[in-house]
């Protein structure tokens, strides 16, 4: 590993993380992205903006989220001591709200009265609908028609919050198609609409600003771990779809060379089956949704349909910074299959009384494997990025139970 890498220097002025990232959108959106970049640069160095963001995180989201020592689970596994960063305890039940709070404040700065979002599992849609309700903004959420089916509870939550949920029936009817449709909306309504992207992907400056908003996770976890244990963790584990919860946890630790990091992709039916959502494990670099990054695609450059039991990970791309962190070797990207993730869901629910989202269950399952390889003096911090209530119908269906 090259210890001279300055992780804070990324991205460069044009939004590149090495060869990844950038701005690959139609001409109509270029000006809006320039404007967003300018507004964000100002906000970033504006103490008043930062103070308002911190205040909202404390009083509306409920931060800091606890770092919880999963003692019973750790003993049962019999290896490293496992700590859970409890993003599931945030208002709206996932890490997504950290970012939507930040972007909604940016939207407020621009004076735009309408926000749009894409969503997979519905967590980002709910988090967007929530901040839109609070600020009195019109909110339209695009969601793949298949995800509308499997995440019915979140769809209804968004509607209760006053959002319009638009089912997207083109392509594979999942997150990637929702993102296409959100881009189409944005290109049409660019003058009065702020696009709240939910992950660290998309055209520059989104990967950077979403990362910056999510870094509160890692900053807190680092301080909490030092305070609770007197040392840094040996390893961090987080699931990676687009990768916002993972980058949020990892980024503040990147310069701590002793801390190993594991990004867990959705292995679906297994990497060898081809039916998964693990571009960093089994994809190649390409261009989609405004950035260059690892993608799942065929030999003609067509994006292929992905599979994961968890809607939030069911995406053929990944944030460009993860592609770069893979190439420079700072983070190991691994995969956990559907059935392993389901086992992780059940274990944490029964052993600790904490029901993880199916996305986070991928990280839980990998952490259990990793803990067994480490010693009892070692510490693993797992990002419990969301709670599992939204997945109960999916789990019941797998169990053959009609709720």
Partner 1 sequence: MNRIGQRLANLKAENRKALVTYIVNGDPRPDVSLAAMHALVEAGADIIELGVPFSDPMAEGPVIQRGHERALEHGTSLKGTMNLVKAFRETNQETPVVLMGYANPVERMGYEAFASQASDAGVDGLLTVDLPAEEAEALNVQLRKHNIENIFLLAPTTTDSRVERVVSLAGGFLYYVSLKGVTGAGNLDVDAVNARLNTIKQKTDLPVLVGFGIKDAASASAIGAIADGVVVGSVLVDAMGKNEQAGNDDILAALKAILTPMRQALDSL
> Given the rule CB under 8 A, which residues bind partner 1?
14, 22-32, 34, 170-171, 176-177, 180, 183-184, 187-191, 286-290, 292, 295, 297, 299-304
DSSP run (H or E) holding 380: strand 379-384
State yes or no: cis peptide before 64, omega within 30 of 0: yes
d(CA 358, CA 264): 12
The distance of Cα 293 from the centroid of its chain, to the nearest Å, equals 16
Strand order in the sheet with 81-86: 67-69, 81-86, 379-384, 235-239, 260-268, 332-337
Nearest distance from C-beta of residue 201 to partner 1, angstroms: 13
What residues does 336 pair with on adjacent strands?
Answer: 266
* 203 three-state secondary structure: coil
DSSP secondary structure letters along 279-304: HHHH-EEEEETEEEEEE-B-TTSPBP
Residues 6+ apart with CB under 8 A from 143: 118, 119, 120, 122, 125, 151, 155, 165, 166, 167, 168, 178
203/267 with CB nearer partner 1: 203
Q: Which residues are catalytic?
A: 96, 118, 385
Handedness of CA 217, 220, 224, 230 (dihedral sign): positive
Could you tell me which residues come within 8 angstroms of residue 14 by beta carbon, excluding any fewer than 6 positions away? 22, 23, 204
In angstroms, the Cα distances linking 3 to 20, 55, 259 are 20, 36, 13
Please enumerate in sequence order all residues whose Cβ is within 8 A of that of 49, keeping only pairs 6 or more positions apart, or say none.
Answer: 42, 43, 105, 109
Where does residue 122 rank: exposed (0-12), middle (13-18), buried (19+ CB within 10 A)? buried
- Judge whether 96 and 127 are in contact, CB under 8 Å: yes
Residue 377, φ and ψ in degrees, nearest 5: -85, -10
- The DSSP bridge partners found for residue 333 are 263
Residue 180's nearest CA partner among 125, 142, 147, 208 is: 142
Give min distance, CB of 320 to partner 1, in A.
13
Give the tokens for residue 276: 């998964």
Residue among 151 and 180 whose Cβ is closer to partner 1: 180
Cβ-based nearer residue to partner 1, 220 or 297: 297
Smallest gap from residue 321 Cβ to partner 1 (A): 17
Q: Report the relative pairing of strands 284-288 and 290-295 from DSSP bridges.
A: antiparallel
- Helix, strand, coil percentages, rounded to 5, for the chain: 50, 20, 30
């Amino acid at each position: 590993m090259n210890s001279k890498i300055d992780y804070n220097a990324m991205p460069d002025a044009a939004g590149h993380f090495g060869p990844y990232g950038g701005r690959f959108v139609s001409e109509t959106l270029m000006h809006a992205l320039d404007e967003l970049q300018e507004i964000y640069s100002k906000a970033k160095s504006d103490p008043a903006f930062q103070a308002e963001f911190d205040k909202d995180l404390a009083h509306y989201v409920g931060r800091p989220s606890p770092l919880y020592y999963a003692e019973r689970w750790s003993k049962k596994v019999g290896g490293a001591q496992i700590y859970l960063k409890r993003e599931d305890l945030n208002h709206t039940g996932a890490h997504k709200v950290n970012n939507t709070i930040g972007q909604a404040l940016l939207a407020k700065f621009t004076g735009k009265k309408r926000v749009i979002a894409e969503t997979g599992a519905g967590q980002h849609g709910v988090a967007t609908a929530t901040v839109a309700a609070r600020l009195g903004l019109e909110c339209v959420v695009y969601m793949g028609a298949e995800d509308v089916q499997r995440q019915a509870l979140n769809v209804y939550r968004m509607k209760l919050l006053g959002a319009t949920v638009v089912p997207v029936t083109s392509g594979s009817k999942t997150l990637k198609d929702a993102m296409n449709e959100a881009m189409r909306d944005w290109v049409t309504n660019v003058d009065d609409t702020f696009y709240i992207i939910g992950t660290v992907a998309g055209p520059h400056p989104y990967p950077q600003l979403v990362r910056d908003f999510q870094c509160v996770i890692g900053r807190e976890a680092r301080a909490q771990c030092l305070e609770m244990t007197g040392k840094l963790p040996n390893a961090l584990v987080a699931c990676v779809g687009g990768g916002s919860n993972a980058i949020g946890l990892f980024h503040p630790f990147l310069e701590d060379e002793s801390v190993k990091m594991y990004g867990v992709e959705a292995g679906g039916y297994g990497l060898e089956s081809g039916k998964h959502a693990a571009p960093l494990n089994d994809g190649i670099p390409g261009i989609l949704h405004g950035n260059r990054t690892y993608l799942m695609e065929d030999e003609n450059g067509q994006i292929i349909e992905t599979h994961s039991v968890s809607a939030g990970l069911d995406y053929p791309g990944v944030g460009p910074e993860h592609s770069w962190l893979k190439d420079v070797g700072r983070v190991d990207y691994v995969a956990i299959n559907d059935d392993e993730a389901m086992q992780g869901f059940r274990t944490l629910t029964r052993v600790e009384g904490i029901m993880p989202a199916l996305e986070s269950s991928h990280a839980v399952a990998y952490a259990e494997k990793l803990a067994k390889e480490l010693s009892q003096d070692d510490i693993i911090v797992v990002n419990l990025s969301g709670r599992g209530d939204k997945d109960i119908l999916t789990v019941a269906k797998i169990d053959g139970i009609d709720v």
